Amino acid sequence: MDAVTTSRRDETIDVTTSQTKVPSCCGQQMTIRTDLGKFIEACCEICKDSIYVKKQDISKPQMIDD
């Protein structure tokens, strides 16, 4: 998982968002504010800190036969 991290990020926990992990901050899970295609914007409700987390690729590109 690639993420733009902040100094307040404590740990990473599982969330059912296309198998992407959303970090926790200030002792609780961050909320997903925006889905930006390949990235998710997660925001802490307590300190208002936000980060961008890259989604995991769950499908591989396939060649289409004619």
41-63 pLDDT tens trace: 989 988 988 888 888 766 677 78
Q: pTM of this prediction?
A: 0.54
Domain ranges for the chain, please list them. Answer: 9-54
Q: In what order do the strands lie in the sheet with 9-17?
A: 9-17, 20-25, 28-29
**Alpha carbon distances (Å) from 62 to 9, 57, 59, 65:** 36, 13, 9, 9
Q: What is the mean pLDDT of the segment spanning 22-51?
A: 86
pLDDT band at residue 7 under the 50/70/90 scheme: very low
Least confident of 8-12, 24-28, 47-51: 8-12
Expressed in percent and rounded to 5, the helix, strand and coil fractions of the chain are 0, 50, 50
